[in-house]
A = this chain, B = another copy of it.
Amino acid sequence: MINPGSSALLTDLYQLTMLQGYFDQGMEETAVFEFFVRRLPDNRNFMMAAGLEQALVYLENLHFTEEEIDWLNKCGRFSKPFVDYLGQLRFTGDVHAMPEGTIFFPDEPILRITAPLPQAQLVESRLINILHYQTLIASKATRSVLIAPQKLLVDFGLRRAHGSEAGLFAARASYLAGFSGSATTLAAPLFDIPVYGTMAHSFIQSHDNEVTAFEHFSHAQPDNVVLLIDTYDTEAAAEKIVILAPRLKEQGISIKAVRLDSGDLASHANKVRRILDNGNLRDVGIFVSGNLDEYILQDLMASHAPIDGFGIGTKMDTSADAPYLDCAYKIQEYAGRPRRKRSEGKATWPGRKQVFRRYDENGYICEDILTTEDAPCEGKPLIDLVMHRGKPVTSPTLSESRSHAAKELASLPADFRRLESCMTYSVIVSPALEDLVDEADKSTI
């Protein structure tokens, strides 16, 4: 059976037609490709690198199954010797990368592949597919984390994420960026992410009586009593909670929180808080959801609404205000010679690159130097070897990457923490890299 997520056929057809060409010409020398973001979307001041772990798993396991080889033979596009060669193909190259959770800026590679040309070419589509989406979501999620650092933030986006993998990757990338966890159950066994969840409106609606529904749920999940109170009338339901709570208490069950999912959330939260407080339920938290994103979060935080946690779904998992990044995976060197594209508006910096980061006296990031790999430079190098000859050399846990991400966010100057675009971060291109451009342009016609 073909497994869509790990299939070597999950690539653009042109990778395979090009590989036929490389095969016919014996072009197997070392190629260097780098993945980078060309420019930031509106309302983004930085990006957070994510997806490296899945990228390395993909590379390590890359191979065509028998069924896939059969299809390649039958499709009539490729020579038999070439398909036989594909049957033996494995990824044997090196990977250099920024650790997941690292803050980065346009033109800075977050991943470099150094491998025989056909291998480095074939993996393009899926590598971008993995790195682009997780980076998109981690970058989006940091915005809620920066706006509401002390609040419980839970990913609620599976249902409107773009397919199964998007739902799972969004749970992972948002947790990496600092979310508390996800509502997506499978994220727990797959990624060891805390999962959250209580009840939907249908639970209330399948009962004739809202209070009966609350009671049934409380007994079914006594350690996890969060009651959804907006199905019919939010404040009326809050009053019902005040009456119900002492009865549950006698049975040893405490209500943890109520959830609001519609209407003017700040106004309802204030009214509900008053009802709960007057009912001696000061320990019962208020959790809100419903079409939230970091912009609404900012308003709710500014209004000082008494809200303890937020479920953030669709708009995060689709990165609704910027649903894609202008990113690329480009050849930078072949057979020892630097390469670059000169297409209008899409020219690239050639060669193997390193990014050196400099910090100000308070420990905040202040400028990056984009230079060639071997050029001496002051600052902290961000790119390191993570896979050697097809085998990972480092495997940080998601939890370690999450700690790194938190440190990275802490190193952001105030201007860069805002939701709106601020001044551009200083990325300086070194003279060594400028020189390489001339060299690349001279060698191609």
Q: Which residues of A contact B (CB under 8 A)?
A: 2-5, 7, 9-18, 20-25, 27, 31, 33, 67-68, 71, 75, 77, 117, 121, 124-126, 128-130, 132-133, 136, 156, 158-169, 183-186, 188-190, 195-203, 205-206, 208-210, 216-217, 219-221, 223-224, 230-233, 261-263, 314-315, 318-320, 323-325, 327, 330-331, 334, 337, 339-346, 443-445
Contacts and interface: CB of A to CB of B under 8 A. Distances in A.
B129 A167 contact: yes
Given A21-B220, A125-B158, A339-B206, A195 B263 contact: no
A253 to B, nearest CB: 13
B334 A10 contact: no
22 contacts: A2-B190, A4-B186, A5-B5, A12-B159, A12-B200, A17-B199, A21-B219, A23-B220, A24-B216, A126-B164, A136-B162, A162-B318, A163-B168, A201-B331, A206-B331, A230-B343, A230-B344, A233-B342, A263-B344, A315-B324, A320-B323, A320-B324
Q: Chain copies in the assembly?
A: 2
A305 to B, nearest CB: 16
Given A21-B217, A31-B206, A341-B205, A200 B14 contact: yes
Given A129-B167, A158-B129, A210-B445, A341 B17 contact: no
Contacts of A205: 331, 334, 339-341, 444
A162 B161 contact: yes
Contacts of A216: 21, 24-25
Contact of A160 (B4, B10, B71, B327): B327
B185 A13 contact: yes
A4 B200 CA distance: 23
Contacts of A4: 5, 164-165, 168, 186, 190
A160 B210 contact: no
A45 B346 CA distance: 35
